[in-house]
């Protein structure tokens, strides 16, 4: 029997961090899908995170907007806090950039409209996000943008007597210069700066400020030292230049953005009901010794956990199962998955064999595996959670999720594992070949190889075959990404 939390049946893990897990769940009364963020009370108290969690819950209860992830309810037990959230099934906006590179201008503008609407609404409620980035922007199956992760948000009451916020937080590449100066900052203008960086990333496919050396990175941000790619339109460049103004007092405001000619093209203000006044009085009760009925499946498993139809559909983009089985090698922000007809024990064994030469320490339990990198990267040690699920009696889905470390390092490690142990992944001509070539070109974009010729040579060596025609066709499909068609002898 699956674990139950109140009226919700918990499924598999969608994401995992140091202090929380996010699981897919289904309301057994309505059949609706939700995402449940699970926090351990002991960790919350031990790391003095009570106020941060209260702030996150309060923020999400206050913000009722179509472009912000909605909170349904909060449930508590003696040991856990369960935050029931809207399930957004289209993945992260970051996924689109990783998989497809830069986006077309009209598509970027549509997402930027929704981002500005959401941020403007948050500010009108006295809430400042403070960690805006593509990883925190989700898309539903209809392409509607949803702002998520309010864990670092701030309320107006946190502003000091000088009218400024004083806690530096957020992701370095998206931080406004005034936050780095550590002299206090206006949450409104700093969020606008982050929106400008996001706009640049969506149109360029890369960050305007990106340096390995943190000191150099901060200097470039402080001076707004960046350059525009040739394909940016004059209107987009003008708007971004006004947003990425290092002086917060002269930086463009949201009302001015709404009046900008580039922004106004195709813009329609959102229409929605603002809802009733929300009470925050019940939030303290979450940290009391509450009880919630749960049921566990406690025995050691003899086979991988089965994936029911609800979960299977939830993991396929746009509720199209073809995406799940035809495009098996697609990269995503924090996770990647593929299907295999190998026995589950063999899958775990082969992945372990592939992971150890890459410097991972491996811990296994049932059909789950934790990989911990032995070297510290840009954002600490890379850690990956792996799990095998049974989709059918002879078909398994393998999922790898980044639980710590740098995203690009995760992508590189996955590509390396894919080549070191290719027997786990089915070798089928056509769609799978095409997808695997896209995977490798993504690795090329991460500067793992210096040329497509070198990349192609590596592919032929690993697969021990020279199916030139199929590979050339695959490269033809990738020409739109800006790569040249090449052949090899």
Bridge partners, 37 (sequence order): 22, 83
In the chain, how long is the greatest CA-to-CA distance? 71
Length of the chain in terms of residues written: 489
Question: Residue 61 annotated as binding?
Answer: no
C-beta separation of 336 from 101 below 8 A: no
312: nearest Cα among 371, 395, 383 = 395
DSSP state letter for 212: S
Query: At a CB cut-off of 8 Å and minimum separation 6, what does 268 contact?
Result: 113
C-beta separation of 74 from 84 below 8 A: yes
CA dihedral 209, 215, 221, 222 (to 10 degrees): -170
* DSSP per position, 330-395: -B-SSEEEEEE-S-HHHHHHHHHHHHGGGTEEEEEETTEEEEEEEEEEBTEEEEEEEEEEEEETTE
Q: Which of 117, 131, 149, 260 is catalytic?
A: 131
Distance CA 81, CA 73 (A): 11
Any catalytic annotation for residue 374?
Answer: no
Binding-site members are: 37
Residues tagged active-site:
131
Binding-site members for ATP are: 37
């Amino acid at each position: 029997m699956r674990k139950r939390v109140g009226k919700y049946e918990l499924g598999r893990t969608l994401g995992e961090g140091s202090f929380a897990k996010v699981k897919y769940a289904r309301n057994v009364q309505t059949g609706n899908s939700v995402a449940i963020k699970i926090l351990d009370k002991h960790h919350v108290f031990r790391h003095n995170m009570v106020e941060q969690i209260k702030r996150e819950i309060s923020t999400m209860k206050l913000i009722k907007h179509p472009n912000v992830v909605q909170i349904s309810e909060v449930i508590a037990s003696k040991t856990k806090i369960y935050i029931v959230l809207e399930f957004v099934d289209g993945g992260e906006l970051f996924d689109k950039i990783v998989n497809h590179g830069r986006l077309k201008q009209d598509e970027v503008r549509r997402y930027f409209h929704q981002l500005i609407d959401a941020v403007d609404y948050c500010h009108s409620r006295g809430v400042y996000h403070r960690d805006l980035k593509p990883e925190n922007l989700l898309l539903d199956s209809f392409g509607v943008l949803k702002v998520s992760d309010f864990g670092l948000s701030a309320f107006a009451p946190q502003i000091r007597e000088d009218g400024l916020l004083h806690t530096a937080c957020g992701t370095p590449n998206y931080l406004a210069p005034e936050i780095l100066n550590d002299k206090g900052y206006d949450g409104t203008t700093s969020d606008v700066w982050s929106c400008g960086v996001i706009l640049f990333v969506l149109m360029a496919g890369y960050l305007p400020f990106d340096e390995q050396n943190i000191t150099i990175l901060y200097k470039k941000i402080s001076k707004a030292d960046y350059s525009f790619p040739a394909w940016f339109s004059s209107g987009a460049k003008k708007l971004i230049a006004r947003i990425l103004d290092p002086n917060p007092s002269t930086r463009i405001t949201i009302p001015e953005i709404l009046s900008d000619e580039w922004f106004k093209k195709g813009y329609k203000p959102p229409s929605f009901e603002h809802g009733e006044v929300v009470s925050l009085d019940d939030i303290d009760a979450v940290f009391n010794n509450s009880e919630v009925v749960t049921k566990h499946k406690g025995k050691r498993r003899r086979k991988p956990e089965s994936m029911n139809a609800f979960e299977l559909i939830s993991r396929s983009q746009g509720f199209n199962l073809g995406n799940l089985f035809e495009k098996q090698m697609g990269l995503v922000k924090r996770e990647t998955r593929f299907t295999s007809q190998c026995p589950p024990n063999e899958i775990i064994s082969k992945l372990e064999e592939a992971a150890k030469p890459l410097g991972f320490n491996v811990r296994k339990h049932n059909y789950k595996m934790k990989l911990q990198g032995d070297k510290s990267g840009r954002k600490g040690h890379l850690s990956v959670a792996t799990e095998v699920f049974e989709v059918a009696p002879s078909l398994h889905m393998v999922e790898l999720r980044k639980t710590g470390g740098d995203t690009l390092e995760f992508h590189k490690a996955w590509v390396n594992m894919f080549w070191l142990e290719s027997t786990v992944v089915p070798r089928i001509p056509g769609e799978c070949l095409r997808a695997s070539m896209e995977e490798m070109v993504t690795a090329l974009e991460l500067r793992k190889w210096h040329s497509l010729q070198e990349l192609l040579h590596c592919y032929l060596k690993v697969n021990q075959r020279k199916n030139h025609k199929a590979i050339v066709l695959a490269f033809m499909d990738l020409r739109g990404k800006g790569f040249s068609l090449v052949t090899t002898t």
